[in-house]
Amino acid sequence: MSKTSVLILRAAGINCDEETAHAFRLAGADRVDPIHINAFIQGRRRLSEYDVLVLSGGFSYGDDLSGGKVLANEMQSKLMEDVETFIGDGKLILGICNGFQVLVKMGLLPRTEPGGRRQEATVFYNDSGKFECRWVYLRRNPDSPCVFTRDMPETIYIPVANGEGKVMLASEEVRTRLGPGGHIALQYINPPWAGAGVAAREITAVPAGMAAEGTAGADDGEATGETPYPWSPNGSVDAIAGICDATGRIFGLMPHPERYTHPTHHPRWTREGCREPDGLHIFRNAVNHVRGAQ
């Protein structure tokens, strides 16, 4: 069987690198290295040694200027040639939370045109003005080319933890390109139990083209095209939680899949029983893809 090597790129302020490395080891990766970005900038290590590049969660450079911005600029100015080669070789890139912010601000997501570098979106402060840290329900887009979410359950449950998680798009024109390309891989949805009878007017609002379970036809039946707070924790356009590029090999999401890799991570496992952790599935998909591609 082919070996799978994963790089967890570290930088000042990144703090989810060890959990993410643990998730990839659980998923069966043969080699997982959390390594500081300076090793690559100084030429002591090379991205080409790896099959998967991961930008994990945290607060790179304190998110001092805005989430992920400084690390995005650093990668653009010092590593972009290597990153483009990495992408061109058909390898995988995953950005989680702060890593997602970095990928978006580098212009690698949604990257509706292959090779494009224009920043087409941003990840901005939550509408609530607060740090939102809790479990959320997501709907997987079955029409997305995303490698990481392939064959996952239609409804996914994992935690978010961010103050800047609101995905906004540069223009309406970008928005029209996201849907047909399957770029929107994950959307926040209402919980399955928040159906008819629970604040029907607000709760019935679901992402465009996606009917939440148990909510169809409730009360006025008018979907606004948005999932309301708190089910969408940040007010993202079209309730976007995760985006991939046109190839499906670059993927970023605001929620933290590495925080649901054991059945006992689930907040209700003692009452609802153990099940396959949704987060682990994302890492397994990456490992399996690499093995299949080699």
Q: Which stretch binds other proteins (CB under 8 A): 70-78, 224-232, 238-246, 262-270?
A: 70-78
Q: Which of 44, 65, 151, 225 binds other proteins (CB under 8 A)?
A: 65
Residues 76-89 as b or e (16 or more Cβ within 10 Å = b): beebeebbeebbee
Q: How many residues does the chain have?
A: 294
- When asked if residue 155 is in the footprint of other proteins (CB under 8 A), the reply is no
Q: Which of 47, 56, 69, 287 binds other proteins (CB under 8 A)?
A: 69
Strand, helix or coil for residue 88: helix
Given 97, 146, 183, 266, the catalytic residue:
97
- When asked if residue 168 is in the footprint of other proteins (CB under 8 A), the reply is yes
Strand, helix or coil for residue 93: strand
CA distance 257 to 98: 13
Backbone angles phi, psi at 267, to 5 degrees: -65, -15
Q: Which of 18, 49, 64, 113 binds other proteins (CB under 8 A)?
A: 64
256 assigned to active site = yes
- When asked if residue 38 is in the footprint of other proteins (CB under 8 A), the reply is no
Q: Where are the alpha helices (DSSP H) in 61-187?
A: 69-78, 80-88, 98-106, 172-178
CA distance 126 to 121: 15
Q: Which of 24, 40, 61, 148 binds other proteins (CB under 8 A)?
A: 61
- When asked if residue 173 is in the footprint of other proteins (CB under 8 A), the reply is no
- When asked if residue 82 is in the footprint of other proteins (CB under 8 A), the reply is no
CA distance 109 to 183: 9
Nearer residue to other proteins within complex by CB, 105 or 140? 105
Catalytic residue ranges: 97, 256, 258
Residues making contact with other proteins (CB under 8 A): 61-62, 64-66, 69-70, 73-74, 77-78, 119, 121-122, 124-129, 168-170, 235
